[in-house]
């Protein structure tokens, strides 16, 4: 998981990378990303989803249109 959008996000990106590996090697998993608005949650999650998809994991996502 690399890219300009993840500058300064080494620790959370590393955590997600480890969870992707654990999930692929095991039987599934769930990760919750939370934080203040504008800190890069979406960029982090998109990068993780792309990495998991590249590694042939089934990636599911959902969004709340009325949240915010």
| Series of mean pLDDT values for 10-residue runs along the chain (68 residues) | 64 91 87 88 91 91 74
- Total domains in the chain come to 1
**Position 27 in a domain:** yes
pLDDT value, residue 61: 84
Would residue 65 count as lying in a domain? no
The DSSP line for 20-64 is HHHHHHTT---------TTSSHHHHHHHHHHHHHHTT--------
In a domain, 14, yes or no: yes
Residue 61: inside a domain? no
- Tell whether 68 is covered by a domain: no
Query: pTM of the predicted model, to two decimals?
Result: 0.75
The domain of 12 spans: 4-54
1 CB burial (10 A radius; 0-12, 13-18, 19+): buried
């Amino acid at each position: 998981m690399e890219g300009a959008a993840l500058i300064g996000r080494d620790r959370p990106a590393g955590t997600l990378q480890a969870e992707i590996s654990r999930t692929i090697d095991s039987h599934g998993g769930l990760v919750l990303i939370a934080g203040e608005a504008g800190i890069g949650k979406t960029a982090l999650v998109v990068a993780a989803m792309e990495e998991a998809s590249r590694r042939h994991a089934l990636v599911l996502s959902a969004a709340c249109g009325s949240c915010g």
